[in-house]
Amino acid sequence: MYENENCGRWDWRRQPLGQEEVGELRNLLLECQQVSLVVGSDRVIWSLDEDSGFSVKSLKNGMVDNGGAMDNYVMEWNNWVPSKVGIHAWRVEMERIPVWFELLKRGIAVSLTVCPICEEEVESAEHLMISCRFAQHVWSVISTWCKVPSIYAFTIRDLLEMHRYTCFSKRKEKAFYAVCLTTIWCVWRARNALVFEGNPIILNNVAGEIKALSYLWVKHRGKNTSLSWEMWRGFKL
Ligand SMILES: [Zn+2]
């Protein structure tokens, strides 16, 4: 609850979670404090073009002028994995998967807020795929298997772009990217199996599933018909 002369009395459904939300709340309250109410009838204004009002053109111009507000990121698609796997990674990148943090942000009551795997931090897409201890173990297995330097990612985008910074041939780079997309897919599946079916998460099982699924997809969808399981186990393409 919050009260001041301009804002009236807030009655939030829940307390803000994490630094980001606390910062957003503080900014909101600061904005509200700058509002001065006057007598007269209300009217709607469009701050990007106060004379003419809203138009798509003024919105577009405002976004271009603002630079950072225009997100030009285009995810690279990989037809060696099924489209559902690529779409899932794309949704993870946009933070559009139903982890607890996202459900809470949308006002959905959930009984749990911490990561169901490590139970140490609020579960966000980034936590689940990057900073969770389990995710770190998985990426460590992947980097050892594929013989790439240790994977240090700060954002999901880093995970989706790291194949570009390998010294692999184009074909091997695409296979490594397929492995990364498969990893994001399998971590999410393992998390869901834990949450909805109570299946414990076992690193070796998840790593085995990543290797087996990516082998199937890279061999058959990528038409790498001569690729044997032995070669794949050594990530030799
Ligand atoms: Zn965790």
On whether the CB atoms of residues 151 and 165 are closer than 8 A, the answer is no
pLDDT class for 129, splitting at 50, 70, 90? very high
Compute the distance from residue 15 Cα to the ligand 1 centre, in Å.
21
pLDDT of residue 66: 67
Q: What is the average pLDDT value for the chain, to the nearest integer?
A: 88
More confident: 2 or 79 = 79
Compute the distance from residue 134 Cα to the ligand 1 centre, in Å.
7
User: For residue 37, is pLDDT > 70?
Assistant: yes
pLDDT of residue 63: 72
Compute the distance from residue 8 Cα to the ligand 1 centre, in Å.
38
Kindly state the average pLDDT of the residues 75-97.
95
The alpha carbon torsion through 94, 98, 104, 108 (nearest 10 deg) reads 130
Compute the distance from residue 118 Cα to the ligand 1 centre, in Å.
4
Compute the distance from residue 206 Cα to the ligand 1 centre, in Å.
15
Compute the distance from residue 119 Cα to the ligand 1 centre, in Å.
6
pLDDT class for 79, splitting at 50, 70, 90? very high
Compute the distance from residue 200 Cα to the ligand 1 centre, in Å.
14
Rounded CA gap, 109 and 106, in Å?
Answer: 9
Compute the distance from residue 126 Cα to the ligand 1 centre, in Å.
10
Kindly state the average pLDDT of the residues 120-126.
93
Burial 179-207 (b: 16+ CB within 10 A, else e): bbbbbbbbbbebbeeeeeeeeebeeeebb
Compute the distance from residue 124 Cα to the ligand 1 centre, in Å.
9
Compute the distance from residue 7 Cα to the ligand 1 centre, in Å.
37
User: For residue 4, is pLDDT > 90?
Assistant: no
Compute the distance from residue 34 Cα to the ligand 1 centre, in Å.
40
- Tens digit of each residue's pLDDT (9 = 90 or more) over 177-206: 999 999 999 999 999 999 999 999 999 999
More confident: 57 or 129 = 129
For 33-39, the CB contacts below 8 A with 24+ separation are 33/4, 33/6, 33/7, 35/6, 36/6, 37/6
Compute the distance from residue 115 Cα to the ligand 1 centre, in Å.
5
Compute the distance from residue 66 Cα to the ligand 1 centre, in Å.
35
Domain residue spans of the chain: 1-40, 46-72, 83-233
